[in-house]
Amino acid sequence: MIDIYSELTAIIDKDYVSNSKEELYMYGRDPGLMPAHEPEYVVMPTTVEEVQAIIRLANREKIAVVPKGGGLSLTGLVIPQKGGILLDMKRMDKIIEVNEKGGYAIVEGGTTHGALKSHLLKNYPHLRHSIPDSPPIATVVANAVIHGQGRLTQQRGFNSDMVSGLEVVLPTSEICKIGSCAVSQYWFSKGPPLPDLSSLFFGWFGTTGVITKLGIKLYPCKKYRDPVLFLTDKAELVPDIMRKLGRTEMIEDLVVNAQPIPLRYKDNYYILFYITGDTEEEMEFKRKMCWSALWDYFEKREGGFVSLVPEMKAPMLSMPSKDTTRFADVSKGGGFEYSGPIAPIEKYPVYVKKLIDLAEKYGLFYSSAARMIDGGHSMMFSFSYTFNRADPQTMKRAKDALDEAAEFAIENGGVMWKPNLDEQKITMAKMDPNTLDLMMRIKKLLDPNGIMNPGNWEVSK
Amino acid sequence: MKRYQTQIHRCFRCGYCKFPTDYSALNCPSYNRFRFDTYSTGGRLWLTYAWLKGDIPWSEHLAEILYACTTCKNCVEQCPMKFAPEIVDWIIEARSDMVEQGKIPLRVKRFLESVYNYGNPLKKTNKERLPWIKSLKKYEKGTEYLLYLGCLASYDEGTKDMVTSLVKMLDKAGISYGVMGDDEQCCGNEVYAMGEMDLFKELAGKNIDKFRQLGVKSVITICPHGYNIMKNQYQGMGYKFEVLHYSQALAKIADDMKPKKTGNGVKITYHDPCYLGRHNKLYETPRKALKGLELVEMPRNRKDAFCCGGGSGNFITDYLAGGNDSPARVRVREAAATGAGVLAVACPGCLLMLKEAVKTEDLDEKLQVMDIASVMGR
């Protein structure tokens, strides 16, 4: 009988290989609502060679491999559906290079957003990356793999759009460079002018390989940064407000919040956007442009600016925002999950109505943050509901509400972001059949033994 | 039912507890040492909840994960949730349940047996108290301060400079103090943190009885762990007295002293002990004792200080030892990187842990670990 554990400890320091019940329990679930399923081994590699050796072993033995970053998708994307080897990437955490002039950083596959933020702030305070509002243990790679969004998404698109190169261990164990780094020592582009192969790895949830290095673009970190809050009680106005602000090209991030507490939030839509600049004059100019864009609403008494005292601004300026995480415990239950369709911003009013209807139907506490993407070409709208981890009934109600939200979102033109297994099935059922066929052929071609994060993007037989 | 049993499910496992404020490093000593999510605070809380629910059985490994927590309170400092102040209490309560069921790991069992049998975790008899302790003045009625030495300063030779320097400073300042000698029992801080509440009550009761008998009104502790337990637990046990950590006494003395000058351009860095810093918010007081010296801070300082790995009995049980990432080794590398020649501490546990780590890291030539009284007395 093959002793996989011994083989793994021959590859990786035994301190970082476990088949103990405790580690298997922990790595078999995430903070969301998808059912648990445990791996058989948890390993933490530190080198690309170790990753290769594990992939070779997995191919030989036909066992599953699930690469994991922070494990914070909430939609169960790294729950090992078919057991096997859970690859916790967080020991591969080096920031290999910051190319200041080229404006990119190269990080290892388990480098966290928190570490990159801190490194830039200390050593390159004039540069920043698009940090998401997930907790700082979220890894740069995993966030790109799920097409995460961050504080620069309004200006620059999805965080995966800001990738500037990859090193990948393919499911057949070869190391492959993707982008300019395939032919040059510089990591300035993930694709152009070459065929853009990076899309073989984003949105695939680890089913097409293990990203061991990633180049991420860096952008100017402006001297001043100021949050502005605009309020309206008319959901139907929100898309136009978003669009008008986006078209000024004066704002950094834009998020629309809807939630019932504090009470002042109920039945109101809080449009939070940020103005950044290097001089007071630049800030003033941008402020005026934004005010001007929204002036009509103000005059018609359809909306207004909220005066922000420094205490209110502080959490808005913190990156990542701890308030996002705090939502999990507003009803003292320790859990929340959201369905997050990417959709046209014109869908905001119908989505937000559905959000509230579902909360009432299922007796749940709700919240939504809608982040504008790429100047208004789309938004991520979160249907967020809390649940009590100690109460299976609220967990079921939250899951039912999220399932219904996902179906509604898809029927109304949205495409699910980081879809759980159920949402993947709905998505594939609705997908153009030739597109789906192409996806399956690509997956089969790259991973002939089906070892990589199996269960995800799989058509039911 | 203990409070943690109805609350522990509230951890979302977000992982803020793993970091310092600026996310520059991993600041949970056990997570940094082992790197499995199980060894983070979130992991511990989730596993404990699973154990409570019967989803996983008790195991030696589970208990070791729980006892590898040094109770350093970095998680309390960083957790964004409203229940943050209670996290370490929950861990202690869970340990207490394990103790009550007789389900504790071997090293913890030995620690507790030693305290039970010898009155200290070092398996030392009264006769084995360090020779210089015997020369110290005994506390008598009317003495202003009881100098409470604690187990490490009473029995571990590595604390000699610390104790002798401190008493010299107290003598020089004309402070009236005395020690309990053979009547001193373990303060019980680690026993409490390990969840052995009956033994803790017995130890605290004996100490309080003695304090009452002697008419003690003010105590100076050498160890921040003793300071913590007397300040935060003894006070509710029927006898009120003032508690000072020795750094507070030194800070008062330093106020009256001329500022020292740094000798030979040697820079000093200061390591905040968890039980003085995060547990009791004494960050600036020990630094006052270093007044006039060239102090260079480590990147992780004050509420973000990285634990030496010795808390909650780990200076004996040593669950975090071994390997490059053991907390004390990480910490002395961080201290050495500041360019400081002296790593000043204010805790006998930290002193011993970090001294050992300096040897392991082969930093003897570059970095000397000294307590603040020894630095002041130089």
B38-70 pLDDT, tens digit per residue, is 999 999 999 999 999 999 999 999 999 999 999
Same domain, B289 and B350: yes
Instruction: Check CB contact under 8 Å for B80 and A325.
Output: yes
Chain A nearest CA to B287, separation (Å): 25
The class level of CATH for A324-422 reads: alpha beta
What is the number of alpha carbons within 13 Å of residue A32 lying toward its C-beta?
A: 21
SS3 B274: coil
Confidence of residue B262 (pLDDT cuts 50, 70, 90): low
Mean pLDDT for all residues in chain B: 95
CB neighbour list of residue A430: distance below 8 Å, 6 or more residues apart:
A410
* Residue pairs between chains A and B whose CB atoms are closer than 8 Å: 107
B82: left (phi over 0), alpha (psi -120 to 50) or beta: alpha
Where a domain ends, among B69, B104, B139? B104
Where a domain ends, among B233, B251, B269? B251
> What is the pLDDT averaged over residues B1-27?
95
**Bond preceding residue B105 cis, omega within 30 of 0:** no
* HEC secondary structure over chain A: CCCHHHHHHHHCCHHHEECCHHHHHHCCCCCCCCCCCCCCEEECCCCHHHHHHHHHHHHHHCCCEEEECCCCCCCCCCCCCCCCEEEEHHHCCCEEEEECCCCEEEEECCCEHHHHHHHHHHHCCCEECCCCCCCCCCEHHHHHHCCCCCCCHHHHCCHHHHEEEEEEECCCCCEEEECHHHCCCCCCCCCCCCCCHHHHCCCCCCCCCEEEEEEEECEECCCEEEEEEEEECCHHHHHHHHHHHHHHCCCCCEEEEECCCCHHHCCCEEEEEEEEECCHHHHHHHHHHHHHHHHHHHHCCCCEEECCCHHHHHHHHCCCCHHHHHHHHCCCCEEEEEEEEEECHHHHHHHHHHHHHHHHHHCCCEEEEEEEEHHHCEEEECEEEEEECCCHHHHHHHHHHHHHHHHHHHHCCCEEECCCHHHHHHHHHHCCHHHHHHHHHHHHHHCCCCCECCCCCCCCC
Same domain, B262 and B373: yes
Same domain, B98 and B175: no
Give how far the C-alpha of residue A366 lies from the chain's centroid of Cα atoms, to the nearest Å.
Answer: 20
User: For residue B48, what pLDDT is reported?
Assistant: 98
Closest CA to B305 of B36, B92, B25: B25
Instruction: Please report, for the domain that includes residue B325, its CATH number.
Output: 3.40.50
Residues of chain A with pLDDT under 70: 1, 461
Instruction: Check CB contact under 8 Å for B65 and A334.
Output: no
**Bond preceding residue B20 cis, omega within 30 of 0:** no
State the span(s) of chain A assigned CATH 3.30.465.10: 92-220
User: B303 lies in a domain?
Assistant: yes
The total number of structural domains that make up chain B: 3
State the span(s) of chain A assigned CATH 3.30.43.10: 4-90
Chain B nearest CA to A356, separation (Å): 24
Same domain, B78 and B125: no
Give how far the C-alpha of residue B243 lies from the chain's centroid of Cα atoms, to the nearest Å.
Answer: 16
Instruction: Check CB contact under 8 Å for B14 and A135.
Output: yes
Tokens of A452: 């990589």
Q: Which amino acid is at B341?
A: G
Same domain, B224 and B279: no
Same domain, B287 and B325: yes
A chain contacts of residue B80, beta-carbon cutoff 8 Å? 322-323, 325-326
Give how far the C-alpha of residue B95 lies from the chain's centroid of Cα atoms, to the nearest Å.
Answer: 18
User: B111 lies in a domain?
Assistant: no
Chain A nearest CA to B38, separation (Å): 6
B chain contacts of residue A117, beta-carbon cutoff 8 Å? 23
SS3 B220: strand
Where a domain ends, among B211, B233, B251? B251
B36 → chain A, closest CA residue: A23
CB neighbour list of residue A224: distance below 8 Å, 6 or more residues apart:
A275, A276, A277, A278, A279, A280, A282, A283
Give me the residue from A15, A27, A115 closest to B37, CB to CB.
Answer: A27
Same domain, B344 and B225: no
Chain A nearest CA to B148, separation (Å): 40
> What is the pLDDT averaged over residues B210-222?
96
User: For residue B259, what pLDDT is reported?
Assistant: 57
User: For residue B255, what pLDDT is reported?
Assistant: 78
> pLDDT for B315-350, tens place per residue?
999 999 988 999 999 999 999 999 999 999 999 999
Chain B nearest CA to A346, separation (Å): 32
User: B109 lies in a domain?
Assistant: no
- Domain of B73? 3-104
Same domain, B133 and B225: yes
Instruction: Check CB contact under 8 Å for A389 and B57.
Output: no
State the span(s) of chain A assigned CATH 3.40.462.10: 324-422
For residues B148 and B188, what is the distance between their CA atoms, to the nearest angstrom?
A: 13
Q: What is the CATH number of domain A92-220?
A: 3.30.465.10
Same domain, B350 and B319: yes
Residue A193 CA: distances (Å) to CA of A93, A180, A183: 29, 8, 11
Give how far the C-alpha of residue A84 lies from the chain's centroid of Cα atoms, to the nearest Å.
Answer: 25
Contact assessment for residue A54 and residue A101, using Cβ atoms and an 8 Å cutoff:
no
Give me the residue from A115, A122, A334 closest to B12, CB to CB.
Answer: A334
Same domain, B137 and B222: yes
Which of B11, B13, B320 is the mutation pick for testing A, counting most A CBs within 10 A?
B13
User: B284 lies in a domain?
Assistant: yes
Instruction: Check CB contact under 8 Å for A118 and B35.
Output: no
Give the containing element (helix H, strand E) for B147.
strand B145-148
Number of neighbours of residue A270 by Cβ within 10 angstroms: 17
User: B113 lies in a domain?
Assistant: no
Same domain, B100 and B197: no
Is domain A4-90 annotated with CATH 3.30.43.10? yes
The class level of CATH for A224-319 reads: alpha beta
User: For residue B121, what pLDDT is reported?
Assistant: 97
User: B128 lies in a domain?
Assistant: yes
User: B114 lies in a domain?
Assistant: no
Which of B4, B27, B38 is the mutation pick for testing A, counting most A CBs within 10 A?
B38
| Lowest-confidence pick of A241-250, B102-111, B126-135, B332-341 | B126-135
Give how far the C-alpha of residue B276 lies from the chain's centroid of Cα atoms, to the nearest Å.
Answer: 8
Provide the sign of the torsion angle of the four alpha carbons B82, B85, B88, B91, taken in this order. Answer: negative
Task: State the ipTM, two decimals.
Answer: 0.96
CA angle in degrees (0–180, nearest 5) for B131-B137-B140: 135
User: For residue A1, what pLDDT is reported?
Assistant: 63
Contact assessment for residue B181 and residue B131, using Cβ atoms and an 8 Å cutoff:
no
Give me the residue from A18, A135, A335 closest to B15, CB to CB.
Answer: A135
Which of B7, B35, B58, B65 is the mutation pick for testing A, counting most A CBs within 10 A?
B35
Please provide the DSSP assignment of B289-330 as one string.
TTTTS-B---SS-GGGPPP-S-TTTHHHH-TT-SSTT-HHHH
Chain B nearest CA to A196, separation (Å): 33
B chain contacts of residue A328, beta-carbon cutoff 8 Å? 12, 14, 81
User: For residue B109, what pLDDT is reported?
Assistant: 97
SS3 B112: helix
User: B112 lies in a domain?
Assistant: no
For residues A419 and A456, what is the distance between their CA atoms, to the nearest angstrom?
A: 9
Instruction: Please report, for the domain that includes residue B199, its CATH number.
Output: 3.40.50.1860
Same domain, B274 and B317: yes
